[in-house]
Structure 1
Amino acid sequence: MNRLKDIIWSDLCVCEDPANGWFKETPDSMVASLLPFDAWAEAKQLFLELNRVWDERGAGASRYGFPIVWPPQDGMRLRAKRIPLASGGHVFVCRAFRFKPRRFHDIGMAQPLAMKLLSPEIRGGIGIFLGRPGAGKTTTACAYLQERATRLGGVAWTIESPVEMDLEGRYENGYIHQREVDTPELMAEAVRDLARATPNVLFVGEVLDDQTAEMVTQASKMGFLVLCTYHGGDLINGIERFARAAGRGSVSAQFVEAFRFAIHIDLRLVDTGGRPKAINDSLIGSLSTGSPPRVLSARSLFCMQDDHPVRGFMKKGEFAQLSSEIDRQKHDLMKQLADMRLNQAGQTR
Structure 2
Amino acid sequence: MQQRGNADDHLRVRPLIAIPHPNVNKLKDLIWSDLCVREDPSKGWLKAASDSMVVSPLPSDSWEELKQLFLALNRSWDHRGAVASRYGFPMEWPPEDGMRLRAKRIQLANGEHVYVCRAFRFKPFRLQDTGIAAPLVNKLLSPEIRGGIGIILGRPGAGKTTTAYSFLQERARRLGGVTWTIESPVEMDHLEGRYENGYIHQIEVETPEILYETVKDLARATPNVLFVGEVLDDQTAEVVAQASKMGFLVLCTYHGGDLINGIERFARAAGHGIVSAQFVDAFRFAVHIDLRMVETGGRARPINDSLISSLETGNPPRVLSARSLFCISDADPIRGHMRKGEFAQLQSEIDRQKNELLKQQSEMSLGRVR
TM (norm. structure 2) is 0.89
Identify if the C-alpha distance between structure 1 residues 159 and 277 changes in structure 2 by more than 3 Å, giving closer, same or farther.
same
Equivalent residue, structure 2, for 1:150: 173
Equivalent residue, structure 1, for 2:18: none
Matched, 1:106 2:157: no
Equivalent residue, structure 1, for 2:259: 235
Q: Superposition pairs for residues 84-163 of structure 1, below 5 Å?
A: 84-163=107-186
The counterpart of 1:77, out of the listed 93, 96, 100, is 100
CA-atom RMSD in angstroms: 1.9
Give, in whole Å, the separation in 2 of the partners of 1:244 and 1:148. Answer: 29
**CA-to-partner distance for each residue in 1:14-47, whole Å, 9 max, x for gaps?**
0111000011111111111111111101101111
Q: CA deviation at 1:95?
A: 0.7
The counterpart of 2:72, out of the listed 40, 49, 63, is 49
The counterpart of 1:250, out of the listed 270, 274, 292, is 274
Give, in whole Å, the separation in 2 of the partners of 1:183 and 1:41. Answer: 32
Matched, 1:209 2:269: no
Kept after mapping to 2: 8 A contact 1:82/1:92? yes
Matched, 1:22 2:54: no
The counterpart of 2:90, out of the listed 63, 67, 75, is 67
Q: CA deviation at 1:279?
A: 3.8
Q: CA deviation at 1:344?
A: 2.1
Q: CA deviation at 1:277?
A: 4.3
Equivalent residue, structure 2, for 1:188: 212
**CA-to-partner distance for each residue in 1:72-112, whole Å, 9 max, x for gaps?**
22322111101111111111000111211121121122121
Give, in whole Å, the separation in 2 of the partners of 1:10 and 1:162. Answer: 17
Letter in 1 for 2:314: T
Letter in 2 for 1:174: G
Letter in 2 for 1:191: V
Q: CA deviation at 1:275?
A: 11
Aligned residue pairs total 344
Give, in whole Å, the separation in 2 of the partners of 1:93 and 1:193. Answer: 33
The counterpart of 2:309, out of the listed 255, 278, 284, is 284
Give, in whole Å, the separation in 2 of the partners of 1:257 and 1:225. Answer: 13
The counterpart of 1:167, out of the listed 182, 186, 191, is 191
Equivalent residue, structure 1, for 2:362: 338
Kept after mapping to 1: 8 A contact 2:298/2:319? no
Gaps (5+ residues) in structure 1? none
Q: Superposition pairs for residues 309-324 of structure 1, below 5 Å?
A: 309-324=333-348
Q: CA deviation at 1:327?
A: 0.8
Give, in whole Å, the separation in 1 of the partners of 2:320 and 2:341. Answer: 30
Q: Which runs of 4+ in 1 moved over 6 A?
A: none
**CA-to-partner distance for each residue in 1:201-252, whole Å, 9 max, x for gaps?**
0011211111111111111101110101011000011101111111111110
**CA-to-partner distance for each residue in 1:125-144, whole Å, 9 max, x for gaps?**
00000000111111111111
Give, in whole Å, the separation in 1 of the partners of 2:315 and 2:45. Answer: 16
Give, in whole Å, the separation in 2 of the partners of 1:97 and 1:155. Answer: 25
Matched, 1:7 2:33: no
Give, in whole Å, the separation in 1 of the partners of 2:86 and 2:298. Answer: 40
Kept after mapping to 2: 8 A contact 1:310/1:322? yes
The counterpart of 1:325, out of the listed 349, 354, 361, is 349
Gaps (5+ residues) in structure 2? 1-22
Give, in whole Å, the separation in 2 of the partners of 1:301 and 1:207. Answer: 19
Give, in whole Å, the separation in 2 of the partners of 1:287 and 1:205. Answer: 26
Q: CA deviation at 1:8?
A: 1.3
Aligned-partner SS, 1:300: strand
Letter in 1 for 2:309: I
Aligned-partner SS, 1:287: strand
- With 319-328 and 54-63 compared, the bigger mean Cα shift is at 54-63
Q: CA deviation at 1:269?
A: 4.5
Q: CA deviation at 1:334?
A: 0.6
